[in-house]
């Protein structure tokens, strides 16, 4: 499970923001979801192929999250 928290410049949670998650390896279940009242979105990532999955997230289709995440599948 990959959790993403959407916050504003004052570190306050933003609800109702559409977040999409993509990967170069494996599958993301429900790849677009809206953030809840705490700004949280949870994605499930699976892969039957070993390797490193690089994840990219977009908020409202235009703001790319700066933090890059990789997940290792063995």
CATH of the domain at 24: 2.60.40.10
d(CA 50, CA 36): 32
Q: What is the pLDDT of residues 10-67, one digit of tens each?
A: 999 999 999 999 999 999 999 999 999 999 999 999 999 999 999 999 999 999 988 8
d(CA 23, CA 51): 12
Q: What is the pLDDT of residue 65?
A: 85
Give the count of domains, the chain: 1
Q: What is the pLDDT of residue 14?
A: 97
26: containing domain = 2-73
Q: Whose CA is closest to 57, among 14, 1, 5?
A: 5
Q: Whose CA is closest to 29, among 10, 43, 13, 49?
A: 43
């Amino acid at each position: 499970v990959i959790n993403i928290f959407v916050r504003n410049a004052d570190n306050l949670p933003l609800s109702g923001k559409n977040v999409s998650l993509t990967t170069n390896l494996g599958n993301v279940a429900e790849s677009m979801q809206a953030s809840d009242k705490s700004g949280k979105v949870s994605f499930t990532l699976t892969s039957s192929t070993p390797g490193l999955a690089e994840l990219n997230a977009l908020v409202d289709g235009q703001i790319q999250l700066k933090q890059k995440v990789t997940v290792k599948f063995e």
